[in-house]
Homo-oligomer: A and B are copies of this chain.
Amino acid sequence: MDTQVFPDMIERLREAGIPVTFPRLAIARVLFTHPVHVSAEQVLERVREIAPDIARGTVYNTLNLFVEKGMLRELIVDPTRVYYDSTTTPHHHYYDVTTGELWDVPVGQLRVVGTPDLPAGAVLEDIDVIVRVRRRAA
C-alpha cells in the first residue's frame, strides 16, 4: 500500500513509535494538519473523504492507539461521545452545552491553585478544567 501520500505525517508516527500504515497516516492527517477538537465519528467522516475504504473499527482502534502513545488527548466532556484534542500541551477547555462546541482556554487565563491530596500509591495523571457555557435564549 502506498504510504508515501502523506509525507508530513510519517515522521510524526515514527517519533511516537507507531508503525506506519496507510490508515494511520490518513487519520493522522485529519488530526494533525491543524489543531482540532473532534469526535471519533467526525474523524471517520473526514478520513473517508480522503480514503473511503477505511473501516470504523480502524478509526476507533487508531484513536485509542494515538492516545496511548501520547499523540492525542481524550476529552470527557459530553455524556454521549468522547472528543479528541490534537493539542497535547496542558490547557483547559470551554464547552458550549447548547451546541457541543469545544474550544481552548488560552494558556494562563485560568489556573488551578492549591495542592491536590492524593491517596497513597496514586499518581496524578491530569487536572481537567472545563468551563461549561450555555448560549442565552435570545
| A residues lining the B interface (CB < 8 Å) | 74, 76-79, 82, 94, 96-97, 105-106, 108-119, 121-136, 138
What secondary structure prevails in chain A residues at the interface with B?
Answer: strand
Residues of B within 8 A of A94 (CB): 116, 118
Residues of B within 8 A of A114 (CB): 108-111
Residues of B within 8 A of A124 (CB): 131-133
Contact yes or no, A116 B122, CB < 8 A: no
Apart from A109-B116, A123-B133, A124-B131, 4 more pairs, CB < 8 Å: A74-B79, A106-B117, A124-B133, A126-B131
CB contact under 8 A between A115 and B109, given known A76-B79, A127-B129, A129-B129: yes
